[in-house]
Structure 1
Amino acid sequence: MTIDDLRNAHCTPLDASHRLEGEALASYLQRLDGWTFENGSIRKTFSFGNYYQTLAFVNALAWVVHREDHHPDLLVQYNRCSVAFNTHSAGGITRNDFICAAKADAVYAQGVAR
C-alpha cells in the first residue's frame, strides 16, 4: 500500500484483531515522513508561522478526520500542533491511524494554513 493509497482510503470499524505491531507497524511507519510511534500512538508535530496558521490547520484537519470518524489527540501551541492517532476500539495502532496520518500530511502539504 502506497502513501497515495492511504490518502485515498477511508477508515472502517476495526477491533483488536486489526492491531498493527512489530514489522507491520514499522512497515507502515516507513511510508510516512516524520511520524513516530510513541506511548501507544503514532505522532507528528507540524510547524507554522503563527497561531492563526496553526488554528487554520487544526480546523482543516478536524473537517477531514471527522469525515473519517477517526479523531486524533491534538496539542495546539502558538506555532505548532502535535497530532497523535491510535484506535481506541482496537487498543492500539491500526490501518485507520495511518490513513488519517496520510490525510493530515496532505492537509499540511496543501498549505491551507500557510
Structure 2
Amino acid sequence: MNLLELSCETQHGANPLAASTVNQLMGSLPGWNIRGIELTKTFPFADFHDTMAFVNALAWIAHREDHHPDMSVHYNRVVVNFSTHDAGGLTLNDFICAAKTEALLARP
C-alpha cells in the first residue's frame, strides 16, 4: 500500500487499527515509533529557519488532509505526534499523514 497516494477520511466512530496492521504499516515509516496510542518521530534541523519551514509545510499537509498532529517545536527540532483521538488510537489517517510528513524531507 502506497500511503502517499491515499487521502485521509473522516474517522468519527472508527475503531483503532489492529496491532498486526500497525506493525505492518510501521515497516514503511523508518524512524517512527509507537508511544502509547501515538505515532511519533523527532525531526532534527540545522537551525530555526529550517525548523519553521518544516512546521509550515507540515501545517499545510495537516490542513489539506484535515488530520492534525500534536507538535513540539524547538530551535532545531520538531517532535511530531499523530493519533486519531476520535478512535482512541491509531488509524490509517495517522500513517498517511506520517508518510506525507516523511516525504517533506525525502532526498532524490
Instruction: Say yes or no: TM over 0.5.
Output: yes
TM-score when normalising by structure 2:
0.93
Q: Which amino acid is the alignment partner of residue 74 of structure 2?
A: Q
2:14 and 2:86 in contact (8 A); partners too: no
- 1:40 Cα deviation from its structure 2 partner: 1.1
- Structure 1: segments with no counterpart, 5+ residues: none
1:7 equivalent in alignment to 2:18:
no
1:80 equivalent in alignment to 2:74:
no
2:25 pairs, out of 28, 31, 34, with: 28
- Structure 2: segments with no counterpart, 5+ residues: none
Q: Which amino acid is the alignment partner of residue 36 of structure 1?
A: N
- 1:55 Cα deviation from its structure 2 partner: 0.5
Structure with the higher fraction of residues in helix conformation: 1
1:90 pairs, out of 87, 90, 96, with: 87
- 1:86 Cα deviation from its structure 2 partner: 0.3
Q: Which amino acid is the alignment partner of residue 17 of structure 2?
A: L
Q: Which amino acid is the alignment partner of residue 67 of structure 1?
A: R
TM-score when normalising by structure 1:
0.88
Equivalenced residue count is 108
Q: Distance in 2 between matches of 1:82 and 1:95?
A: 20
- 1:16 Cα deviation from its structure 2 partner: 4.8
RMSD: 1.5
2:15 and 2:88 in contact (8 A); partners too: no
4+ runs of 1 displaced by more than 2 Å? 15-18
